[in-house]
Amino acid sequence: MSAHGSQLSRRGFLSGSLLFVAGAAVGCSTDPTGGSSGARTTLNVWFHAYGEAGSQQAATRYAESFTKAHPDIAVKVTWVPGDYTSKINATLLTDGAPDVFEIGDFSEGMARRGQIAPLDDLYGAARSDFNPGDLAYVTVDGKPHGVKMIDDVMMLYYRRSALDKAGIRPPATFDELVAAARALTTRSGKGLFVGNDGIGDTPLLAVRSNGGDLVTDGKVGFASPQAVEAIAGLKRLHDDQSLLLGFTTDWWDPSALTQDVVPIQWCGLWAMPAIGTALGDDFGVLPWPAFKPGGSPVLRVGGWTSCVNAKGRHVDAAKRFVQWLWIEQTDLQKDFAESYGLHIPPRTSVAATADKLSRGAAKETVDLAARYGRSNPNTWDTAVATPFNAAAARIAAGQGDPAQLLADAAAQAQTAVDKQRG
């Protein structure tokens, strides 16, 4: 959903949590004991602060339903605004770590450090119903260490009327994207929005659009010749000054597109309901185009994964909550995917019954994701991504030799991957 790491800095930290005991919601600001309810166990369950209206209420409603079915387990739902990734990483090093928490980019390192519990015993017969890519994504040494909750697909949106007026076809190659962004840039506005820093996901997309990859079987690959060529190509967008920079919200929010500030924007499937409300049928969706012949279009597939704190005091009860909500309760999984923004359920059978994904631009996005969707490697943590992103930003700004910058970044990233994998 529309929250990604530090991008929710506009909200304060821990604005609210609710404890559910025997079906009753009790507001609380400290860790509850649950003693008066008869519950023998109290779980602290963390969610990042989703931006979609009703999502917090849904999370608390699900917790209440669980406690009705399991009155011996109280559930405290903690809604975490702000830089969620930094907060969960820091909290996991303390005694105050939650029993259950979600992560936006699954981390193999967390499994290898013993921070998250293997959950292979939870899936049962439902295992074959999960998207194979999602299952592989959370698997370390043959065991799933999480349950994917939602798949978030990221792609390009464009205003049909703006491109038609300019006589521009939806771009099918990187050259066409550069040309379209330049042609659509006027004195009053820019042609393309990929993020307030002008970088966003574009380096990841560039590498993969030219047949390269980021990390494969523990080996960093983003300094390959095809990766260097594609990332160096991003400089063209900056040289043309066709990128919108420093907007009031970042790429994950569709306002730049819906407010007619730009005609093309990188954003996510979660924003499609809001875009449809604002623009009607005056929009289309595209993958990031292939860099050149022989490359491939790319959509990024992210999402959120539910994990159990392996060092928590209530591992068995925490596993039961994750199993109940994200494996057994298919009606709630569908509700979470369709009712608060728009997302793809990781379970194939649930996705097949999601009516809002079965038509129009949403169905087109699902089909494109099936063909061209790529997830970040599960070794892609901050220590690996930071040198890559820093090198890409310098290359886009024309500050240094692309091959040398990426080689240096790859050496740093390889050290971080090796440390993760022991």
Fold (CATH) for 5-152+302-370: D-Maltodextrin-Binding Protein; domain 2 (3.40.190)
Question: How far, in Å, CA of 96 to CA of 117, rounded?
Answer: 17
The radius of gyration of the chain from alpha carbons, rounded to an integer in Å, stands at: 22
**For 171-181, what is the mean pLDDT?**
97
What are the tens digits of pLDDT across the range 226-277? 999 999 999 999 999 999 999 999 999 999 999 999 999 999 999 999 999 9
Q: How confident is the model at residue 22 (pLDDT cuts 50, 70, 90)?
A: very low
Torsion over CA: 300, 303, 308, 309 (sign): positive
Average pLDDT over residues 169-182: 97
Q: Kindly indicate the confidence band of residue 39, based on its pLDDT and cuts at 50, 70 and 90.
A: confident
Report d(CA 330, CA 350) in Å as an integer. Answer: 7
**Does the pLDDT at position 302 exceed 80?**
yes
Domain 154-300+377-421, architecture per CATH: 3-Layer(aba) Sandwich (3.40)
Confidence of residue 1 (pLDDT cuts 50, 70, 90): low
Q: Which pLDDT band holds residue 294 (cuts at 50, 70, 90)?
A: confident
Share of the chain above pLDDT 70, in %: 91
* Overall average pLDDT of the 47-69 stretch: 95
Which segments of the chain belong to CATH 3.40.190.10?
5-152+302-370, 154-300+377-421
pLDDT for 29 equals: 30
Give me the chain's average pLDDT, please. Answer: 91
User: Count H helices, E strands: the chain?
Assistant: 18, 15
Report which DSSP code applies to 356. Answer: G
Q: What is the pLDDT of residue 3?
A: 47
Give 217-238 pLDDT, tens digit per residue: 999 999 999 999 999 999 999 9
Residue 230 to residue 288: CA distance in whole angstroms: 12
